[in-house]
Chains A and B, each alone.
Chain A
Amino acid sequence: MDIVSPILTDLQLLAKPSLFNVYFAVASIPAGFLFAIFMALGKASRNRLIANLCRGYVYAFRGSPFFIQLFMFYSLALAFNVTLWKPLGIDWLILHPLFLGPVILTLNTTAYTAEIFHGALQAVPRGELEAARAYGMSRWQQFRSVTWPHLIRIAWPAYTNEVVFLFHATALVYFTLPVIDDQKDLMNKAGELFERDYNAFLHFSVAALYFLLISLVIFAIFGLIYRRLMRHMPQVPRLRLAVRWLG
């Protein structure tokens, strides 16, 4: 029995679907990163109201399953379709899975990343901040030249894990959102192939292989960035994959 050729066929068939998973991740990571900085700063804010709002947001999104969040925001978007999106003429955009998917992923990853950044923010050396203040630096200068460089270096290994987990979470998007035409992602396509010939082992393994390979690529890229961030250190600590810590 020929084992290699069906695997090669599957690798070909699943190449395009894997791009949809990559798209979801790539579309939501930059926005999530940016929002998370503000959310982390907000969580550490001295303003009680802002701090509590940010804390509530982070707790709610980290304390509930992404699967439910997807369902809720999709049905929320549907509920406002007739009253809001249709009159504004943007229903085609809002309800499009390639737009709504990244939006919900961004909301989710913002919370997880904010928690990582907030933890790192607490670990920024006090002394250096005091020194910066003694030099007469403005708040922005302090952030730019002391807080941020420390924060990103401390947070990077954990952030790498979060990105890998976000990529894994993209597998859930099309279980909720409608699939338009042939815009299937890895799980959809693997499921479709499975229904054709009932070969679960082959199709799901190849899909898993894609997830594994892309995860490794993410690790390689983020490892390179980490090396660059840590280039002033004599020895760069190695990145390790850990559980998406909560708490």
Chain B
Amino acid sequence: MLEILPEWMKDGIGDDLLFWLGYFTNGKHLAWYASVQYTLLAAVLGAAFALLFGLGGATLKNSRWLPLRLIGSGYTNMVRGVPDVLFFLFFPLAFEQLVELIRAQAVCTPETLADNAGRWPPCDAANWYLGTNEYLLLACVSLGIVYGAFTANVIHGAMRSVPRGQLEAARAFGMSTSQVLWRIHIRQMWVYALPGLSNCWMLLIKSTALLSLLQIADIVLWADRLGAPNYTPTAGLVHPDWRWQYYLVLLVFYILLTFVSEKVFAGLMRWAGRGTLVARS
């Protein structure tokens, strides 16, 4: 990385600084910086899934049919009674096993099944190898399931906060039920939902720290590797345990992420609430 610097600049900044600049731009550090993409991708994709599940959950909770309503409130309550990390670990595992079970019906022969009795997968041919991308996608879905439950509550509450008069006026204009729903109800709902959605997003970005539990080489895993005491037979002890400094960097990274999100959501709320009378704090 240092090669791109011109010679005069190298002379100017001194050997000490040059050493550290070189150290912090070596291959492993660059991989660390690059792994931020997993965290951000998981946050954005997870939020998209959460919004999807949230809208679905809110629809179920609003349903006129009792069983659907029960499923909706069951979903939102169950996820809140159980830690997010449990879902985070359980869902990818369960999904993988389900796929392998279905595959096993097709590809396994009685002999291979008998060979592998009591073990998983049922037979070697049914094994589904999951790479980083697959795990990342599954992680996003499980984030979506967990925070979708929170989002469903937020959206459910926001749907009920839309003034009745607005809907009645829309109906009086001769709009059909779906027109009222899509053009008036859901559009106005966002203003009331935004503060709650902002909280869900904050929780979600904080849970992206859990990605390393699914063997994704994310920023947490890299920080652990880079900070661990580094000993090589030729050079001796390169550096002692530096892990807490690396974790401190992560801590600051997440605080900054929260700070930026706060500002963005404040701007969004101002934009969404323009022209309406919504009490702001």
Contacts and interface: CB of A to CB of B under 8 A. Distances in A.
Given A64-B254, A171-B85, A198 B241 contact: no
B213 A60 contact: no
B24 interface: no
Interface of A, helix, strand, loop or mixed by DSSP: helix
Given A64-B251, A200-B90, A243-B196, A79 B244 contact: yes
Contact of B251 (A68, A197, A211, A246): A68
A215 B80 CA distance: 10
A13 B210 CA distance: 26
Contacts of B272: none
A182 to B, nearest CB: 21
Contacts of A171: 83, 85-86
B196 A211 contact: no
Interface stretch (A70-78, A96-104, A151-159, A225-233): A70-78
A201 B94 CA distance: 7
B interface secondary structure, majority: helix
Among A66, A204, A216: residue with most chain B CB under 10 A? A204
Contacts of B62: none
B244 A247 contact: no
Instruction: Using C-beta atoms within 8 Å of the partner chain, give the interface range for chain A.
Output: 35 or more
A187 B89 CA distance: 10
B97 A75 contact: no
A129 interface: no
A169 B83 contact: yes
Given A60-B255, A75-B244, A194-B93, A246 B210 contact: no
B224 to A, nearest CB: 7
A27 B119 CA distance: 40
B53 to A, nearest CB: 15
Contact of B86 (A60, A67, A187): A187
Contacts of A207: 86
A206 to B, nearest CB: 11
A101 to B, nearest CB: 15
Nearest to A213: B81
Interface residues of B, number: 49
Interface string B248-273: 10110011001100100000000000
B243 A75 contact: yes
A87 interface: no
Given A63-B255, A194-B93, A198-B119, A68 B83 contact: no
A247 B258 CA distance: 11
A182 B133 CA distance: 35
B209 A211 contact: no
B252 to A, nearest CB: 8
Contact of A187 (B78, B85, B97): B85
Nearest to A210: B82
Given A59-B255, A68-B250, A175-B213, 6 more contacts: A68-B247, A194-B93, A201-B94, A247-B198, A247-B202, A247-B262
25 contacts: A60-B255, A63-B255, A63-B259, A65-B209, A67-B209, A67-B220, A68-B250, A71-B250, A72-B244, A168-B84, A171-B85, A187-B86, A191-B89, A200-B90, A200-B97, A201-B94, A204-B94, A208-B86, A212-B81, A212-B82, A215-B81, A241-B77, A241-B81, A243-B154, A247-B202
